[in-house]
Structure 1
Amino acid sequence: MTPFVFNTTPSIRFGAGLLDRLDEVAAATLGPRVMVVTDAGIVRCGMAARACAALERAGVATAVFAEVMADPTEALVLAAEAATRSFGATGVLGLGGGSSLDVAKLCAALATGGSDLRASYGVGNLRGGRLPLVLVPTTAGTGSEATPISIVTTGGQEKSGVVSPVLLPDIAVLDPDLTLGLPAPVTAATGIDAMVHAIEAYCSASPNNNPVSRALALEALRLMGAALETAVHEPANIQARSDMLLGSLLAGQAFANSPVAAVHALAYPIGGMFKVPHGLSNALVLPHVIRFNAATHPEAYARIAPILFEGMDSLAPDAAFVFADALAALSHRCGLPQRLRDVGIGQDALAAMAADAMKQTRLLVNNPRALTLDDALGIYQAAW
């Protein structure tokens, strides 16, 4: 066994109703003044008020930064940092989807004054410590509550990542009740996003691909394979919602240590240039990337195929390609668009997208098969 490193969130709390028990779960960690980082939708549905009320029962003063939007920009991150400093926060609570959690992570780190955002992009460049940090996901997809990664939109369209163990929160609070109101398209897209995390973590060419990450990825796929369609079509099914939320966490733990690859690299330009939600961006290219990789590296995909799709034959010569087709069919059954043209992307944009994807060297190095510019363009053409 080769040496490896595995880091994860030190404390994970899972259970229905935990949002209303933040006074018990999180107040002591966050301190007397807490900035809640979230979005306007979470405020409108009352979740932010519930979080504040729970903390205030423990004598904690709260403020809410609710300006987070999908694909957060540098300006938005810096605005959240400024609000946190102005409030004199002793801790940060991230509440919402992946964008809110990513902003909360950076806010907690930057507010201490020890780091500069633009100098922090890349792996291991974030300096200094952070404020105490608790993350509460309201979608079952990004796994951000268990990853040392925050993604920021830079230069208008391009996405850059800050990767550092400093960004792992002190506590992840998983309350499946918070996901009950997710619309079917969001449930489907975020669910397939989580599946991508597990698939790419298991098949990653990273030298830190390790037994712990692979075991977590397999359990994540087992849970989500049985639950995703139920969660999409029966939105009030709490068991399916719980399995999806736990599966998303496990997938996040897996890819936090065995990093993702070309699916994400090719998804980023779709989101950055055309504002397509991240989970849907992944779903649009997923089967095409797997077919590309399976031409030279089919074994890992064949092994995981029956975990996600019961009854699939992992020993069949074309198992990896059948797996790719099954993922495309799953996406279709969940009601997601199937082609790049279906989300308004013109064929004339594919070359620029391919060039942008090739800038994601942090991710492409983990792909099982080396990817050239022509390969990236070919995958986009197949997806178009």
Structure 2
Amino acid sequence: MSYEFRSVPRILCEAGALQQVGHVLSGLGAQRVMLVCDPGIVSLGFAASAQQALHAAGCEVTVFDQVVPDPSASVVKQAAAQARAFKVDGVLGLGGGSSLDAAKLVALLVNSEQSLEAMYGTDNALGQRVPLVLMPTTAGTGSEVTWVSVITDEQQCKQVVYSPQLLPDVAVLDPELTLGLPPKVTAATGLDAMVHAIEAYTSRTRKNPIADSLATAALALLGRNLPKVLADGQDVAARTAMLQGSLMAGMAFVNASVAAIHALAYPLGARFHIPHGHANALVMAPIIRFNLAQAQRQYAELAAYLLPDQRFADEATAAEAFVLAIEALVRDSGLETRLSKLQVDEQAIPSMATEVVVGIRRLIDSNPRGMTEQDVAAIYRGIF
């Protein structure tokens, strides 16, 4: 077996860690810092706390707080222009996956003459970024430990930048920032993290033993603690476990690949602005059921981590129990599971299926079972 595994150099996990971000960035040599976030982070007071911590460490700060879900190329360009004007030498991304993805690109674009469009794809980004610290406020995307940034272009299609320069210098986990997450956001982001672990473990293209170990550890943490945080959002220990599970699932998938669940979720986010975690949750159960014929062994292995208290007579029974458990988690999440209730246009299904199979081929190639446009359309129609 041959593979390459990359990871973030430093992880800081501590309740109240937001107060340390100034010293973390100044320790990296940053003096003029851009804080990249969304309006919600401002309204919660997290942006002000981050600014205070940065000022206390002697950093000057400019704030870009206009990140939106599924951030557009124009938003990233606006942030980069503001960063250049301020002569930024460090970036702090604070928020959900959209803010972290935008922050990564800003840190790379600020000193680059390369266009954003030229960076699309794998290993096309040139040059070095400024110091970068990423701090998630949801337990889901794992973006704080990946070298991937996903944005929406002018044609409402997802574009992905894969570049090792996007890995941050430090990922900071502070469970206190997740205590106020609404149950539906908690559910969507938690299921997103579980998808990362499952798709990493069953990947056909870059599966490897390090990613496997991270994926199984993540799935055990997420499966055990998602019901706890949905029942009690103030459970700090469970919130910490969710952040750790999300981070480990992020490390797993970025080194092993995601697959069809993400492929089918992308058009739902880009075209109909369904949040990424919710979009993954919509297609998660039917795709896992679809994959069962080819992924029975892997699903049986994962059952031991998701359902540790159960014993199974054979591989087929274990795999079926795993699929049923995923279906129950989605059903009990409190999320809307029908596309027709989320303003998705049924007439868009054929073109979405084409986009998935043709335009997002790399993810379909990683799926345990091959998929045609007809398969994809059938899954969309099955949840319409």
TM-score, length basis structure 2: 0.96
Q: Does 2:255 align with 1:233?
A: no
SS of 2:316's partner is coil
Q: Describe the superposition over 1:114-161 as per-residue Cα deviations: whole angstroms up to 9, x where unpaired.
A: 432111111111111111100011000000000010001013421110
Matching residue's letter, 1:22: V
The structure 1 residue matched to 2:259, chosen from 248, 258, 261, is 261
SS of 2:290's partner is helix
Q: Does 2:380 align with 1:380?
A: yes
SS of 2:149's partner is strand
Whole-angstrom CA distance in 2 between matches of 1:212 and 1:46: 38
Whole-angstrom CA distance in 1 between matches of 2:164 and 2:243: 22
* Aligned 1:329-368 pairs, distance under 5 A: 329-358=328-357, 359-368=359-368
Higher deviation after alignment, 11-20 or 292-301: 292-301
For 1:298, the equivalent position in structure 2 comes to 296
Whole-angstrom CA distance in 1 between matches of 2:348 and 2:100: 30
| Contact 1:217/1:254 (8 A) holds in 2 | yes
SS of 1:335's partner is coil
Q: Describe the superposition over 1:226-281 as per-residue Cα deviations: whole angstroms up to 9, x where unpaired.
A: 10011112010111100100000000000110010110000001111111110011
Higher deviation after alignment, 184-193 or 156-165: 156-165
Q: Describe the superposition over 1:325-360 as per-residue Cα deviations: whole angstroms up to 9, x where unpaired.
A: 221211222211122223232433321221121211
For 1:26, the equivalent position in structure 2 comes to 25
Q: In structure 2, do the counterparts of structure 1 residues 115 and 22 end up closer, same or farther at CA, with 3 Å as the change threshold? A: same
Higher deviation after alignment, 29-38 or 18-27: 18-27
Whole-angstrom CA distance in 2 between matches of 1:50 and 1:181: 16
* Aligned 1:81-92 pairs, distance under 5 A: 81-92=80-91
| Contact 2:148/2:161 (8 A) holds in 1 | yes
The structure 1 residue matched to 2:279, chosen from 262, 278, 281, is 281
Whole-angstrom CA distance in 1 between matches of 2:63 and 2:33: 9
Q: Following TM superposition, by how much is the alpha carbon of 1:316 offset from its aligned partner in structure 2, in angstroms?
A: 4.2
Whole-angstrom CA distance in 2 between matches of 1:304 and 1:315: 13
Whole-angstrom CA distance in 2 between matches of 1:24 and 1:365: 43
Higher deviation after alignment, 92-101 or 18-27: 18-27
The structure 1 residue matched to 2:208, chosen from 210, 224, 240, is 210
SS of 1:296's partner is helix
The structure 2 residue matched to 1:245, chosen from 243, 246, 260, is 243
Q: Describe the superposition over 1:16-47 as per-residue Cα deviations: whole angstroms up to 9, x where unpaired.
A: 00101223333221511000000111111111
Q: In structure 2, do the counterparts of structure 1 residues 285 and 314 end up closer, same or farther at CA, with 3 Å as the change threshold? A: farther
Higher deviation after alignment, 12-21 or 310-319: 310-319
For 2:41, the equivalent position in structure 1 comes to 42
| Aligned residue pair count | 382
Report percent identity of matched pairs: 47
Whole-angstrom CA distance in 2 between matches of 1:83 and 1:368: 43
SS of 2:188's partner is helix
| Contact 1:184/1:235 (8 A) holds in 2 | yes
SS of 2:294's partner is coil
* Aligned 1:133-144 pairs, distance under 5 A: 133-144=132-143
For 1:185, the equivalent position in structure 2 comes to 184
Whole-angstrom CA distance in 1 between matches of 2:23 and 2:89: 17
SS of 2:171's partner is strand
Q: Unpaired runs of 5+ in structure 1?
A: none
TM-score, length basis structure 1: 0.96
* Aligned 1:150-161 pairs, distance under 5 A: 150-161=149-160
Whole-angstrom CA distance in 1 between matches of 2:337 and 2:39: 29
| Contact 1:196/1:282 (8 A) holds in 2 | yes
Whole-angstrom CA distance in 2 between matches of 1:63 and 1:350: 42
Whole-angstrom CA distance in 1 between matches of 2:91 and 2:21: 13
Q: In structure 2, do the counterparts of structure 1 residues 228 and 374 end up closer, same or farther at CA, with 3 Å as the change threshold? A: same
Whole-angstrom CA distance in 1 between matches of 2:56 and 2:47: 14
RMSD: 1.4
Q: Following TM superposition, by how much is the alpha carbon of 1:52 offset from its aligned partner in structure 2, in angstroms?
A: 1.0
SS of 1:295's partner is helix
For 2:168, the equivalent position in structure 1 comes to 169
Q: Does 2:54 align with 1:58?
A: no
Matching residue's letter, 1:85: R
